[in-house]
A and B are shown apart, each in its own frame.
Chain A
Amino acid sequence: MSAVLDDKTRNKALINEVLEVYPEKAAKKRAKHLNVYEEGKPDCGVKSNIKSLPGVMTIRGCAYAGSKGVVWGPIKDMVHVSHGPVGCGQYSWATRRNYYNGTTGVDAFGAMQITSDFQEKDIVFGGDKKLDKLVDEITQVFPLAKGISVQSECPIGLIGDDIEAVSKKKSKEVGLPMVPVRCEGFRGVSQSLGHHIANDAIRDWVFDKADYNAPFESTPYDVVLMADYNIGGDAWSSRILLEEMGLRVIGQGTGDATLKEIEMMPRAKLLLLHCYRSMNYIARHVEEKYGVPWFEYNLFGPTKIAESLRGIAAFFDDSIKEKAEQVIAKYTALSQAVIDKYKPRLAGKKVMLYVGGLRPRHVVGAYEDLGMEVCGTGYEFGHGDDYQRTTHYVKDGTLIYDDVTSFELEKFAEKIRPDLMASGVKEKYIFQKMGIPFRQMHSWDYSGPYHGYDGFAIFARDMDMAINSPVWGMTKAPWKK
């Protein structure tokens, strides 16, 4: 009890300490994003989804990153055009590891940078003509492409281009679905609006153009696994469990998805939503318009996996419920062996999280399965509903930081000295310099998958190798006291 009190007092003091450094106006604003979680409260007591302050080194990205980089980019049989200057597409070229099967450049277009590479004349005279011509060229060099999306970069919305008109015209001409996405980077406060805009584009340009009266042989067990971007193959190590419990995965998205699979969402009996933040909009739409329920599941760590598989099975008949139990039983030995091997090496270790999407809450259970404790967490681009959902995961006294600045995170870590920092590539090297073990929890540090039972073994191995690496014993020269 006193330890919790101590942590609470320390965390509150820490918040005050970082706020003191800000100019007054900024301190007032940042104060609303930092808090210490009080057990029993309905949310984490922080404001969120608000503009980042200028000049503070926010870790957030932009709407384009949310649409091209997250939602649309992984759809593998479409060509996604980064429409505007060269940079955005260059930096997001294959850096998010959305795994897919296919022949790149032939029938799959994932790990590519396809752009209209705007020049000054395109800014001055507009880029619509270039886009028109570019579509023809796509059909010539990529004859197997199943569709084209236009991922708007900042200038598009500023120079008054009409990408919707071009898309409608060219879609008819070339006979391919074409999706204009208004995800200019200046829109909204983070990646999050990009997710929303990308979801709306699925609604308007995919669902509304598909023919759902066409015959389709459905089964009572049809599901679509969605909002898993297949980082390191996560969607695959999730799908294996769903199939084993007797479900038919008629679509997967958007990681390793084809356009046809995205179209399947309204056909499903249940939508399985991994990343609530990035695709709840379309799930709600499908529920409202097509009457398909959705379920937010969590396949990190055996405790949450079992909970989720049972939660999913509850939507179906007894045969699925039985099979879900069989799946849980089948993998118990594996999970126990993983825990037996790694828990003794990891028990009691403190973790600070700062990530995006669902991970600031969803991975907590996996750490706890290994005896570890999350002592601070925050969302890069979360909303109020994320912070409400987080209360089911975190303990009393946990330090909460929304849209944390590099300055704050560094100060927090300096004082708390967690045994592991779990965040992104921009943070990785900072904390390693400080001698704090680190794992990238956006990209799994190029490892993974972490989802499902197969993924949990890799997760445990990776956390162990980060924390127990001999390198951390060498950061101080032996002749220095």
Chain B
Amino acid sequence: MPQSAEKVLDHAGLFKEPEYQEIFERKKAQFEGGCGADKVREVADWTRTMEYREINFKREALVINPAKACQPLGAVLCASGFEGTLPYVHGSQGCVAYFRSHFNRHFKEPCSAVSDSMTEDAAVFGGLNNMVDGLANAHALYKPKMIAVSTTCMAEVIGDDLDGFIKIAKQKGSIPEDFRVPFAHTPSFVGSHVTGYDNMLKGFLTSFWDGKTRAETTAPAININGGFDGYCVANNRELKRMMKEMGVEATIISDPSEVFDTPTDGEFRMYAGGTTAAQMEAALDARGTVFMQGISAAKSAEYVEKAGQKAVSLHCPVGVTGTDAFLMAVSELTGQAIPASLELERGRLVDAIADSQAHLHGKRFALFGDPDMLLGLTAFLLELGAEPVHILCTNATKDWTEKINALLAASPFGKDAKAWPGKDLWHLRSLLATEPVDFLIGSSHGKYLERDIGTPLIRIGFPIFDRHHHHRFPIWGYQGGLNVLVKILDKIFDTLDAKTTDSASFDLVR
């Protein structure tokens, strides 16, 4: 009997015991109807060949393990970053259950969002009644300051009109006439989660700025938007800290850093922190808005410029040159000098890179993730002397492909790299098998590639489900660069140690 009260074995140990192994063998041999271990091995080996890669890359309809999610997920994250705001998704209820659990698993935090639970009758007659009741119920129960409405694909396919529905709901008294309801259509069959984020952000900007006259402030005030960022908790705090050092008044537009990081002290805070309505109103007069993930904020940036403001589009600035560019852009917008304290931080990051560069130089990497994140990480790898090889972006845009190619062309360390727009992680599996690299950077979903091919995974991206608290440490700014550097180095050293356990090279000092 493998189990005991003294030493309780759970799944990780229990099923390795002979009693269970015998069951597995018997089940396989007598009842499963499989094709035998030899055949499985033969096919598994074949899936790692160039022949398989060619078949795999001919896929046109079948998508396997994509690194992207759908629009309303992004809308919910964006909406969560405003004070007292309840994300509300018009359409089928299952979607909202998925969005909430997705963020729960990444942040290990509550995620509040409602659905208006449309079913068959709404499919036939439209979801107006759901909106009328839904807004009334959500308002009564959860007492939000704002409700931010986005859509599931069901509502988009049947063509529900959010603007009209919200107005009718107000007329019917579901919510007060002056209650603010920013909204965005977020069809999941267009773009990805980052598109939905952009659409919702534009919905907020439109709600607050449309019809208002802009009078540019003389204060050194700017807006910053982080975009769909799994590290928003720490990154936004780091941005605020750096801006304080510079004497810049920065409004983070959509700031979920509090709501996804509340304390365990006996009280559940459904709402915490977030950009306030007053901040949003004042934000129109700011000197400009910095988009930390510019490719994924294209529509919002365009709107900001139309409103008469300068829009600066960055690409997830990780590392030295990325942070330099960010700080210089802020300095140019505000006229504030970059202080010595930040220059000191810069010097420390450069110092750390210098200390470790011998372990990084020439190491070959594969990366996957969101468009701007990939630009930022690639730039950082290039400045470390590492060599990005496969850069795979399922939710790429044309703009991304041009930008990543330009970035690679500008560095001798980018000469072996190839960008793979629109591909999925099953494509990446073939790439890793046929053109091996030393390390893989990406979300937790990369762990299957690590298992199948053996490429060590450095977890940077979204979602991170199988490691805890990574989102509590920034990846932006010089401090963030240091965190990313250490993540990469730890994996390099762990891999080296594992490789050398039975040799003289198992060094104490590295």
Contacts and interface: CB of A to CB of B under 8 A. Distances in A.
Given A21-B141, A426-B97, A85 B188 contact: yes
B455 interface: no
A58 B5 contact: no
Interface string B57-74: 011111111101111110
Interface string B151-170: 01110011000000000000
Contact of B119 (A95, A187, A239, A334): A187
Interface string B347-373: 000000000000000000000000000
Interface stretch (B37-45, B242-250, B304-312): B37-45
Contact of B64 (A77, A103, A113): A113
A54 B133 contact: yes
B129 to A, nearest CB: 8
B151 to A, nearest CB: 11
Contacts of B487: none
Interface in A398-433: 405-407, 410, 424-426, 428-433
A251 B62 contact: no
A435 B268 CA distance: 9
A434 B1 contact: no
Interface string A226-269: 00000011001101100100000111100010111100100000
Contact of B94 (A111, A158, A185): A185
B189 A85 contact: yes
A308 interface: no
Interface string B89-107: 0011111011111101100
Nearest to A140: B55
Contact of B11 (A99, A143, A157, A424): A99
A457 B8 contact: yes
Interface in A423-475: 424-426, 428-435, 447-449, 453-454, 457-458, 460-461, 471, 475
B375 interface: no
Interface string A75-114: 0010000001111101111010001011111110001111
A46 B114 CA distance: 23
Given A86-B188, A154-B92, A457-B3, A251 B117 contact: no
A145 B472 CA distance: 41
B32 A260 contact: yes
A165 interface: no
Interface string B414-454: 00000000000010010000000000000001001000100
A32 B98 CA distance: 27
Interface stretch (A119-127, A271-279, A291-299, A347-355): A119-127
Contact of A144 (B24, B35, B62, B452): B35
Interface string B1-16: 1111110111100110
Given A23-B140, A153-B153, A154-B157, A476 B11 contact: no
Given A232-B10, A338-B5, A429-B109, 15 more contacts: A59-B97, A61-B93, A62-B94, A62-B97, A86-B63, A87-B72, A103-B44, A120-B187, A186-B92, A337-B4, A424-B101, A429-B104, A433-B264, A433-B266, A454-B9
11 contacts: A51-B117, A53-B137, A87-B70, A103-B44, A120-B190, A144-B43, A154-B153, A185-B94, A261-B33, A449-B10, A449-B14
Interface of B: 1-6, 8-11, 14-15, 19-20, 23-24, 27-28, 31-35, 39-40, 43-44, 47, 52, 55-56, 58-66, 68-73, 88, 91-95, 97-102, 104-105, 108-120, 122-123, 130-131, 133-142, 152-154, 157-158, 187-190, 192, 262-269, 426, 429, 445, 448, 452, 465
Interface of A: 21-23, 25-26, 51-65, 77, 84-88, 90-93, 95, 99, 101-107, 111-120, 122-123, 130-131, 133-134, 137-138, 140-141, 143-144, 146, 153-155, 157-159, 185-189, 191, 232-233, 236-237, 239-240, 243, 249-252, 256, 258-261, 264, 330-331, 334, 337-338, 340-341, 405-407, 410, 424-426, 428-435, 447-449, 453-454, 457-458, 460-461, 471, 475-477
